[in-house]
Chain A
């Protein structure tokens, strides 16, 4: 098992290096200049001296290869550098946004798992019944409806319903407080986005659970269990579900990694100051160092969650670790 994990960790290195090279050079292909955006975003005039001073300040005068080496070397030492836009350490910028993204990602994952696994299982057990039809419709709607649209609609529904029933429109607070400071307020802020994201997330996992369960339920060992006279609950919970969880765990892992940095639009809709919104700002401002750091953070989380999934695979199915 240790060798398996070490092999997986070593495979992360070329993946991360490839991602670093890709994000570094792709960012520089985007036309534009952070200093021009900063100095003249409102349409105001500025001098060439001011522009040169700005360029010198953020280190644009260094050769490209040196910038790349500095970036990779910094990343190896966990030094993400300084934001070109704010002048603050990138680690500080990300740390300020990470709790909200993480909280939503965890909450959305919990909501998704709570919805997806029971409904997916029921749907498989009652294949082609009216219950199955309802569950599948629910799942397809979740995949079809973009979460930002769901977010906007859910906010409007809350506002309109409270106006109708309470006589005064209400919406959750919009200035985030961390869970450890004020749990109730924190949850009231993140619950709507977590539900809207969790719904889409659950729809994907639900369909995966259903198809995996259908496949497992047709396996010989399930038939054997039934022939042995085991009760259905034990067959489903102990034998079928555990084996059907392999692809579901994969989906959950991939989605979780996406949620930490990929809630770009949902964070905007709910005014959540998360990593996704920071990434959009960084790209818009052409803040290379910040964009690179966030992308590398997302890549690292993806790679690590894949590692966790692989380890879980090996735990769920011993054949994998010996392969």
Chain B
């Protein structure tokens, strides 16, 4: 057919083929209620299409289905995407621009209505092409999509404007919940205040700002799932409360993650009763240099400041106290598009010899007439990892003679300063859900493209490099294009100074099984694969409970 399959899709299909036909895990028991902490206050609304907070995913993801998703048995992979509501991952036609999905038959919404292709098309259309009065912050993720249609009740066809590897992760975004078309047509805002999906659990109760409850969906279409009778998610924004609750077994797990010190304390207190899963996190911290403020309009100054930071030398120590871990470029380290270590070590600030790097930094500052540079670092009043990173940076920059003070402000004023440009150097970051580098790094695109770019610069070459990379269908070539983009952004121009990737450490009581960590606290949260060891599973049956009559 003359179409080169993306390596990404090949990995997907291979993974699909490798999946067991039966979903049931060996030794898994049915029954019990999982109580977990939601480390946040109540989400603003229940509508996954409009919200961006993990608080909503941790609250309501178990109630919903999606078309495709990251493989719940292999969520650590950045490329393993499998069907949820479709029957098989499709083959592309039209040079990778047309994708036809066959939809499972017999799936029901929790209200008893059948879920058909039209519901999926309507939901995805609502995200990609929102109505005028509907908020859809991720519509840009679907910029490659031309249209989405449901020609019959079991078929969804998606036409793309151009073939790109960014399509699959965008489609597998965990917020792409499938709503009932009938309800959406009647009131596109209905799902903001109501929960009604087709996922593994049915809504059982909600105490605003306090807890959410779900019960097993006996009609769930993945045979043998879910294992749990139900779940209770308890909102608790304070870390101390969450840790106390896990210690006292008032909750079995918190899915977002903790810094290493808290994990160490829990391990000590619950010797043998707790397991910890670790992953790189698809969140990275970075320094914004405001190009409108002198001397940060000078590339030599920006390069000097990034050259001064000893990422390789600091990461091991910093990772013991803060939730940062891996040294990497702006591309998620596990992604096939990420540069190699050898490439990375050629970027400013990533050189293996820090003394050489700092000597170069001092030389650049002198050349730019900025010796003894003094400035204020705008930072956010959040410990992990903002304040840790800020303190670290102050120390690192002092090594090249820069005098830096931190200006720590609450989230509101921090955003306000970034948006008004009333800062010289600021500590920010980029946190995404599913790993999708071509989309994730849109944050770093120049101001004319990305409103979230607080460097306040324009750079046509950067845009051109990005467009070239985005539109390249061949993964090997795309990786080379990505490297050009990364090098231009963080080395040649040093528009930003990328720091370290965050580290995700999730503690689970040892009786919690079947959950696997992923690079994002947004992923793999439908709880369908989780099961509890005796006696926490109650009757602990080997078979799913019979469907209730009627």
Contacts and interface: CB of A to CB of B under 8 A. Distances in A.
Contacts of A39: 52, 137
B11 interface: no
A48 B451 contact: yes
A41 B248 contact: no
Interface of A: 30-33, 36-48, 50-51, 53-54, 56-57, 85-88, 92-93, 96-97, 152, 155-156, 159, 162-163, 168-171, 173-176, 268-271, 273, 277-278, 281, 284, 286
The 8 closest A-B pairs by CB, nearest first: A32-B412, A45-B452, A31-B416, A171-B248, A42-B431, A273-B210, A271-B241, A43-B431
Contacts of B420: 31
Contacts of A32: 411-413, 415-416
A54 B429 CA distance: 23
B135 A169 contact: no
Listed residue (A32, A46, A271, A286) with the most chain B CB atoms within 10 angstroms of its CB: A271
B54 interface: yes
Contact of B247 (A51, A54, A87, A159): A159
A37 B412 contact: yes
A43 B502 CA distance: 13
Nearest to A34: B412
A176 B234 CA distance: 10
B133 interface: yes
Contacts of B133: 53, 56-57
Contacts of A92: 208
A170 B410 CA distance: 34
Contact of B41 (A169, A281, A286): A281
Given A97-B209, A170-B248, A173-B250, 12 more contacts: A32-B415, A40-B52, A40-B452, A42-B283, A42-B431, A44-B432, A50-B136, A50-B139, A156-B244, A163-B269, A174-B245, A284-B412
Contact of B209 (A33, A37, A270, A278): A278
Nearest to B42: A86
B240 A269 contact: yes
Contacts of B294: none
A41 B193 contact: no
Given A31-B417, A45-B450, A159 B248 contact: yes
Nearest to A97: B209
Contact of A175 (B210, B237, B417, B452): B210
A273 B42 CA distance: 10
Contacts of A37: 411-412, 415
Contact of A44 (B211, B417, B443): B443
B451 A38 contact: no
A273 B235 contact: yes
A320 to B, nearest CB: 43
B238 interface: yes
Contacts of A171: 244-245, 247-248, 250
A281 to B, nearest CB: 5
Contacts of A86: 42, 44-45, 208
B248 A46 contact: no
21 contacts: A30-B412, A30-B413, A32-B413, A41-B53, A45-B443, A48-B451, A50-B137, A51-B451, A86-B42, A88-B193, A96-B208, A152-B240, A159-B248, A168-B249, A171-B248, A174-B236, A176-B207, A268-B241, A269-B238, A269-B240, A273-B207
Nearest to A51: B451
Contacts of B247: 159, 169, 171
B170 to A, nearest CB: 14
Contact of B429 (A43, A46, A281): A43
B468 interface: no
A281 B443 CA distance: 27
Contact of A87 (B193, B238, B413): B193
Interface in B373-428: 410-413, 415-417, 419-420, 428
Contacts of A270: 241
Given A42-B53, A48-B451, A86-B42, A93 B417 contact: no
Contacts of B416: 31-33, 36
Nearest to B284: A43
B140 interface: yes
Listed residue (A53, A54, A97, A268) with the most chain B CB atoms within 10 angstroms of its CB: A53
Listed residue (A93, A174, A176, A278) with the most chain B CB atoms within 10 angstroms of its CB: A174
